[in-house]
Amino acid sequence: MGQVGRRAWRRRCGRASRCRTRYRRGKRRTQVSSTRIARRVETILRLVALLSGLVLVLTGVATVINAILRSFFASGIPAMVEMSGPILAACIFLALPYATLSGTHVKVVLLTDRLPGQVNRFFKIVGALAVSAMCAAVGYWMYFLTLDAAEIGMTTLSSPILVAPFMAVGTLGAWLAALAGFMLAVREARTHPEDAASTPSEETTFE
């Protein structure tokens, strides 16, 4: 190889090295950006869950007050009984996304924890994707039910309370739960088996 050939080879190697460096930097930036987005989404889901819990606590307090008023004064809070059901359903759907993403809900584990690491990881990813698909289907179904309820002005049985706003909240919660399930699957896919084995599980399981 002559001197000209060596120079051309060096230039090609230098270009390839710079391309590899740029690719690694871009990949690292993309990972950092996706991690920041995931953290922000998780923060939003946590705030939504806290808001749901606060509304649920206030509903419980109002229900107790309503029972006391009915016992001692023969009159309670108007439409409290009718309101408690839709509020409870909306709170459950709003808390579901964060519970799905953080794994704080109750699980029944029969076999997966006894499987080898890679197989266990595979079933966790498949399970998270299945939860995401199911919640997306529920949200899609509830979306059209909400449109129908809003169009006909559907109300509760004994009180003229529109149910469409509560169904819209439930639809939003189902779609957020689908997003949380997908994020959980991505997190499991990026987790190395060694890190997953060294990290203690905080899930409540029944065997």
Over the stretch 110-122, which tens digit does the pLDDT of each residue have?
A: 666 676 778 778 8
The structure's pTM equals 0.70
Question: How would residue 207 be classed by pLDDT, with cut points 50, 70 and 90?
Answer: very low
Residue 145 has pLDDT above 90, yes or no: yes
Which is it for the CA torsion 43, 46, 48, 54, positive or negative?
negative
CB 167 within 8 A of CB 145: yes
CB 84 within 8 A of CB 63: yes
Question: How would residue 33 be classed by pLDDT, with cut points 50, 70 and 90?
Answer: low
| % of the chain surpassing 70 pLDDT | 71
The β-bridge partners of 206 are 108
Q: What is the mean pLDDT of residues 24-29?
A: 54
Which residues have C-beta within 8 Å of that of residue 113, sequence separation ≥ 6? Answer: 120, 205, 207
pLDDT at 176: 92
The CA–CA distances, whole Å, from 71 to 74, 81, 198 equal 6, 15, 56
In 3D, which of 161, 195, 3 has the Cα closest to residue 84? Answer: 161
